[in-house]
């Protein structure tokens, strides 16, 4: 399809396990973002890629979280040693340029992560 695609849509895992969440942005978008939305909260910024490099990863909560975008298109968010507090909807978005310039991000439907 033409939109941002995220897989899996739902992921249930056990505490301590490793999880990967995938994002396939809109073709041609150079900027890619990960946000996290906890229950009852608005999305919170995690990391921003411009091309292959992480331009701003200051939103990652700790070193258990890591993201890559090796070819400047698909991105993977990796969470090690998951904790119950990591349960949230992880949102991916892409855009033509820096989010602050246009404000228009195109969001996927999210990956709902539940850590038991």
Contacts to another protein by CB under 8 A: 3-4, 35, 40-45, 48, 56, 59, 91, 93, 98-110
**H or E stretch at 7:** strand 5-7
Q: How far is the CB of 1 from another protein (least distance, A)?
A: 12
What's the rounded Cα separation, in Å, for the pair 102 and 79?
30
Q: Which is nearer to another protein, 40 or 70 (CB)?
A: 40
Q: In terms of CB distance, is 30 or 99 closer to another protein?
A: 99
**Nearer of residues 23 and 82 to another protein, judged by Cβ:** 23
Q: Give me the phi and psi of 41, to 5 degrees please.
A: -120, 165
Query: Is the C-alpha dihedral spanning 94, 44, 62, 8 positive or negative?
Result: negative
């Amino acid at each position: 399809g033409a939109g941002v695609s995220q897989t899996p849509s739902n992921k249930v895992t056990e505490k301590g396990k490793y999880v990967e969440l995938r994002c396939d942005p809109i073709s041609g978008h150079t900027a890619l973002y990960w946000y996290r939305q906890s229950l009852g909260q608005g999305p919170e910024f995690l990391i921003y890629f411009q091309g292959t490099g992480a331009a701003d990863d200051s939103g990652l909560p700790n070193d258990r979280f890591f993201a890559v975008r090796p070819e400047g298109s698909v991105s993977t968010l990796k969470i090690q040693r998951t904790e119950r507090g990591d349960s949230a909807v992880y949102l991916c978005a892409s855009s033509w340029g820096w989010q602050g310039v246009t404000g228009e991000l195109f969001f996927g439907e999210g990956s709902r992560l539940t850590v038991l």
